[in-house]
Structure 1
Amino acid sequence: MKIVVFGATGTVGLEIVKQALERGYEVTAFARDPEKLSELRKSNLLIHKGDVLNSKDVEDSIARHDAVICSLGDGRIGKIRAKGTLNIIQSMDRLNIKRFICLSTLGVGDSYENLNFIWKHIMFGFFLKSAFKDHKLQEHYIFKSSLIFTIVRPSALINGAITNDFKIGFDGKFKDLNLKISKEDVANFLLEQLHKEDYLMQAVSISN
């Protein structure tokens, strides 16, 4: 399988690339700064230098691939996710590539009620307000698209390992969460969606 990973140098994106290479996928890692991927020397890795806000860069990287995984991040700034994702969606439409898996965050949509006071009012209400707004707009674009998508909403990311020991697909009323999950588990879950149909055309929440 040939996949493109956007946000390939980010916390989850880099882990996605590493795990995808280990699985034997042909991986195109889209990066504004390819030097950050210089240690990953694999025959099944292609590094595509580009700007996700540049339509031609995006379309050139997606051509002749089977699926796209988006893990765009922009820290607290909150401008790149939605605009970049819209560029990806439009490029996929032009190329008739349909499978799209996107990293979002727990708290968007009905998962907002899964958050505790700190995440609702301090983190997303103040410190990460712009980033949270960007995630919501990003999901809006995806739900309006004609792609075969899966949106993954993890809780706060931590370093760890692949455990496959976390809660999946809970609704907004579920409260028994510690609101953390390893980036390794998140990357693995995103990649697993390439071969599963459990969460097509929907957003799925994951957390410990």
Structure 2
Amino acid sequence: MKLTVFGATGGVGREIVRQALAEGHDVTAAVRDPARFAVTGVAGERLEVHRADLADPEALRAAVAGKDAVLSGLGARTRADAGVAAKLTRSVLAAMDAEGVRRLVVVSAAPLGPVPDGQSIIEKAVLPIINTLYKDIYADLRVMEGELAASATEWTSVRPPKLTNKPVTGRYRTVVGGTPPRGRTLARADVAHAMLATLADPATVKQAVGVAY
């Protein structure tokens, strides 16, 4: 497939690029600053680094033109960055619409999903604290998901819990439209793996997918 990856300088985005190349896809990494972008592994002529202002839909059209799918690791890295996910995803959606590209997979967060059955007393006590601490980030992601739902794209929102930097395993649980119970962590590498896996799964189109170990 021909893929474009946004947020390719982040932990999830870099893993999407690396794994997609390893799977034989052609990848365009759209970044603000190519000097910050580095990915190890198989690349060769199948990797293109496209420099663009991610807030400018017109500047993104060349990055998505003719692609089979777009994957986004865009999101706030700190509470001070809250708002960036919705703002930049809005630009991506506009560029995709202009170029007639339909498939989009983004990373979101588990707290946006329904509360699963079987939560422990500790989990029930901790969740409100987490939601309060990161309320601005989650509010940003809710706006982003609202933009997806209102768009013409065939979107999927992947919602992981707390992220780690462990290696990819390919072994995790997914719940389309729900949240895996007792799912506490997931490696960024496995988030990328799950996002790529949704490209071949029509059941995930226009759905949020909970994913966790």
With normalisation by structure 2, the TM-score equals: 0.87
Deviation of 1:164 after TM superposition, in Å, equals 2.7
Aligned to 1:84: 88
- 5 Å-filtered alignment, 1:1-208, equals 1-38=1-38, 40=40, 42-75=44-77, 76=79, 77-111=81-115, 116-118=124-126, 120-126=127-133, 128-169=134-175, 175-177=181-183, 179-208=184-213
Q: Distance in 2 between matches of 1:159 and 1:180?
A: 10
- Is the contact made by 2:164 and 2:185 (CA closer than 8 Å) also made in structure 1? yes
Question: Which blocks of at least 5 consecutive residues in structure 1 are unaligned?
Answer: none
Per-residue CA deviations over 1:14-40 (Å, capped at 9, x if unaligned) read 110111111111101011121122455
RMSD of Structure 2 on Structure 1 (CA):
2.1
Flag as ranges the 4+ runs of structure 1 deviating above 6 A: 112-115
Q: Distance in 2 between matches of 1:70 and 1:185?
A: 15
- Is the contact made by 2:15 and 2:192 (CA closer than 8 Å) also made in structure 1? yes
Q: Distance in 1 between matches of 2:174 and 2:18?
A: 23
Q: Distance in 1 between matches of 2:205 and 2:55?
A: 26
Q: Distance in 1 between matches of 2:180 and 2:19?
A: 30
- Is the contact made by 1:3 and 1:68 (CA closer than 8 Å) also made in structure 2? yes
- Is the contact made by 1:111 and 1:205 (CA closer than 8 Å) also made in structure 2? no
Question: Which blocks of at least 5 consecutive residues in structure 2 are unaligned?
Answer: none
SS in 2 for 1:161: coil
Deviation of 1:188 after TM superposition, in Å, equals 0.8
Per-residue CA deviations over 1:38-88 (Å, capped at 9, x if unaligned) read 455632111111221111122121112111001102212212110111111
Deviation of 1:150 after TM superposition, in Å, equals 1.1
Q: Distance in 2 between matches of 1:172 and 1:111?
A: 8
Deviation of 1:111 after TM superposition, in Å, equals 4.7
Q: Distance in 2 between matches of 1:183 and 1:102?
A: 13
Deviation of 1:197 after TM superposition, in Å, equals 1.2
Structure 2 residue identity aligned to 1:54: D
Per-residue CA deviations over 1:110-156 (Å, capped at 9, x if unaligned) read 258876433x3333312x22211111100000011111111110111
Q: Distance in 2 between matches of 1:171 and 1:92?
A: 24
Deviation of 1:171 after TM superposition, in Å, equals 6.5
